[in-house]
């Protein structure tokens, strides 16, 4: 069957997949039958390798055929080894509204071999320990980029060794001189670091290193896409298996060219099916520091941060940053999180009863929707005010309060059912529930269906603590 291409995503039918499965309905994949597995495969909800019978030698031809059909427009490349190995690329589409993006942009923080050892260790540890809770997700950093600025092989080797001893995070080794790059590889011989970079002048030596150490390799040709594609082709033909493209990152006047190059490559891969353009892209926002001039450090950090944001939205699969201040990293990791969530699914939390502090039988009871942003805002306001309370999280299909009420996703029936299911009636002796101000118009209906008295609370959860102090009487 001929498969259509739409926006780089092959429109596969479950039947095409099914025809090439072993069709024994053995359930080893965890699905009811082969057809159910085929449907999940088409929706990219399971991996082909979950069908173990398909991995047997007698099914090799079908496996190869299915792998080819399911191949993403952008190749997936793994940096590092073990639990913390980072996969980049693997994108099926150009835009996230077409299909959920895979493999969030990997963020690297740099160290150099000219930094004092204590600074290297502290930067690596800070990167390793970076953690930010954002609507139920823990946002982390992914890689360390070790840069040779000394142009001294021994110094580079010692720096890579120190970094490898300090962290399990995968590495990017940045050295254009092959002898220095090899010294770095010798300090982390089986760590599969990303090697940066092969250029039109050093490509052969770098390709040999990449093959010898089984390391992915960046092909770099700043602002010259023809040279970049030709370089990638040469490396591939030479035997390099995993290649990442660096079309160049330019701050200031070169910004338009930077974004244009990234976009053209991703378009060629996803819309045009061009295989060599379909390699992961690396951006280097830390170039902002190279053009620093008289600018104050904080302004450079801000510039680096917006460059990172632009590259994340414009298809970068990995980026290297220098600033490791929380205030400049937060917009970057939050933006990445928002872009890589499934746009078809509202971000929701588990409904049910949540307990704050040490409430007793006279403590206030409130309800809210299960939209993650609403829940975490309300929860954080209750927690920070140290209010002892019960909060019933109602399944509003991930809608916020006002949208949920307007769209009949947060209804009086659901709220009454949630009150009953929560078991709150056995925990408090009163029958009063505080409603968010934005759900005031269904308070009468809730009272009728639940038998609980509804107190209309504030529209903004930051006023909950004051409301409880001023108005709550069990
Ligand atoms: Fe079919 Fe493979 Fe699943 Fe068995 S494991 S049911 S053969 S898809």
Q: What is the pLDDT of residues 462-471, one digit of tens each?
A: 999 999 999 9
Give the pairing type, strands 389-394 and 352-356: antiparallel
Q: Residue 10: pLDDT band by 50, 70, 90 thresholds? A: low
Query: Rounded mean pLDDT of 315-336?
Result: 97
What residues does ligand 1 touch, defined as CB less than 6 Å away? Answer: 21-22, 24-29, 31, 33-34, 37, 51, 53-54
**Rounded-to-integer distance, Cα 260 and Cα 257, Å:** 5
For residues 390 and 367, the answer to whether their CB atoms sit within 8 Å is no
For residues 218 and 282, the answer to whether their CB atoms sit within 8 Å is yes
Pocket test for ligand 1, best of 17, 18, 31 (most atoms within 8 A of CB): 31
**Residue-wise pLDDT tens digits, 230-260:** 999 999 999 999 999 999 999 888 999 999 9
Task: State the pTM of this model.
Answer: 0.82
| Distances in whole angstroms, Cα of residue 360 to Cα of each of 260, 363, 474 | 60, 5, 11
Average pLDDT, the chain: 94
Nearest-atom index, ligand 1, CA of 33: 6
Contacts 24+ apart (CB under 8 A), 234-237: 234/203, 235/198, 235/203, 235/207, 235/210, 236/276
In the reported structure, the alpha carbon of residue 42 is separated from the centroid of ligand 1 by a whole-number distance in angstroms of 15
Q: Whose CA is nearest to atom 2 of ligand 1?
A: 51
Element (H, E) at 86: strand 86-89
Q: Residue 383: pLDDT band by 50, 70, 90 thresholds? A: very high
Q: What is the pLDDT of residue 421?
A: 96
DSSP H helices, 314-430, are: 326-339, 372-384, 401-406, 412-422
**Rounded-to-integer distance, Cα 186 and Cα 44, Å:** 38
**Rounded-to-integer distance, Cα 86 and Cα 224, Å:** 28
Q: Whose CA is nearest to atom 8 of ligand 1?
A: 34
Per-residue pLDDT at 97 exceeds 50: yes
In the reported structure, the alpha carbon of residue 50 is separated from the centroid of ligand 1 by a whole-number distance in angstroms of 8
Query: Rounded mean pLDDT of 391-413?
Result: 95
**Rounded-to-integer distance, Cα 244 and Cα 239, Å:** 14
Number of other residues whose CB lies within 10 A of the CB of residue 351: 18
Element (H, E) at 194: strand 194-198
Per-residue pLDDT at 9 exceeds 70: no
| Distances in whole angstroms, Cα of residue 367 to Cα of each of 105, 242, 370, 458, 470 | 36, 51, 10, 12, 19
**Residue-wise pLDDT tens digits, 66-85:** 999 999 999 999 999 999 89
Strand partners for 160: none
Q: What is the pLDDT of residue 272?
A: 93
Element (H, E) at 19: helix 14-19
Check residues 96 and 284 and name the one with the higher pLDDT.
Answer: 284
Give the pairing type, strands 143-147 and 171-174: parallel
In the reported structure, the alpha carbon of residue 22 is separated from the centroid of ligand 1 by a whole-number distance in angstroms of 7
Query: Rounded mean pLDDT of 362-367?
Result: 97
**Rounded-to-integer distance, Cα 296 and Cα 323, Å:** 13
Looking only at Cα atoms, what is the longest distance across the chain?
A: 79
């Amino acid at each position: 069957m001929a498969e259509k291409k739409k926006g780089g995503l092959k429109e596969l039918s479950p039947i095409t997949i099914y025809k090439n499965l072993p069709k024994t309905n053995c359930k080893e994949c965890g699905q009811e039958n082969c057809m159910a597995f085929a449907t999940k495969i088409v929706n990219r909800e399971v991996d082909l390798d979950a069908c173990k019978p398909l991995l047997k030698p007698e099914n090799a031809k079908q496996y190869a055929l299915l792998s080819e059909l399911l191949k993403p427009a952008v190749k997936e490349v793994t940096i590092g080894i073990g639990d913390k190995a980072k996969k980049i690329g693997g994108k099926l589409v150009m835009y996230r509204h077409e299909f959920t993006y895979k493999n969030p942009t990997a963020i690297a923080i740099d160290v150099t071999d000219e930094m004092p050892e204590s600074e290297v260790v502290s930067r690596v540890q800070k990167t390793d320990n970076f953690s930010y809770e954002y609507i139920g997700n823990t946002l982390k950093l992914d890689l360390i980029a070790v840069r040779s600025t000394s142009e001294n092989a021994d110094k580079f080797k010692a720096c890579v060794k120190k970094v490898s001893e300090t962290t399990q995070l995968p590495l990017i080794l940045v050295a254009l001189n092959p002898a220095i790059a090899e010294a770095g590889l010798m300090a982390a011989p089986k760590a599969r670091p990303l090697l940066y970079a092969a250029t039109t002048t050093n490509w052969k030596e770098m390709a040999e290193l990449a093959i010898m150490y089984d390391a992915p390799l960046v092909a770099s040709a700043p602002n010259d896409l023809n040279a970049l594609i030709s370089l990638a082709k040469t490396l591939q033909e030479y035997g390099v298996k995993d290649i990442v493209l660096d079309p160049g990152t330019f701050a200031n006047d070169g910004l338009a060219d930077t974004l244009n190059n990234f976009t053209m490559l991703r378009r060629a891969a996803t819309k045009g099916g061009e295989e060599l353009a379909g390699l992961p892209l690396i951006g280097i926002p830390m170039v902002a520091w190279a053009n620093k001039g008289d600018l104050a450090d904080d302004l450079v950090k801000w510039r680096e941060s917006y460059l990172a944001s632009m590259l994340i939205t414009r298809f970068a699969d990995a980026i290297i940053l220098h600033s490791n201040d929380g205030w400049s990293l937060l917009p970057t990791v939050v933006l990445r999180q928002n872009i890589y969530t499934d746009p078809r699914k509202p971000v929701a939390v588990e409904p049910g009863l949540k307990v704050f502090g040490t409430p007793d039988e006279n403590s206030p009871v409130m309800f809210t929707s299960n939209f993650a942003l609403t829940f975490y805002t309300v929860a954080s306001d209750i927690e920070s005010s140290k209010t002892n309370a019960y909060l019933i999280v109602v399944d509003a299909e991930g809608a916020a309060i006002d949208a949920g009420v307007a769209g009949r996703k947060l209804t009086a029936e659901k709220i009454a059912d949630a009150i009953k299911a929560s078991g709150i009636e056995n925990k408090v002796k009163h029958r009063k529930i505080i409603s968010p101000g934005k759900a005031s118009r269904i308070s009468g209906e809730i009272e009728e269906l639940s038998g609980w008295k509804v107190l209309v609370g504030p529209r903004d959860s930051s006023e909950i603590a004051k409301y409880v102090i001023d108005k709550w009487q069990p």
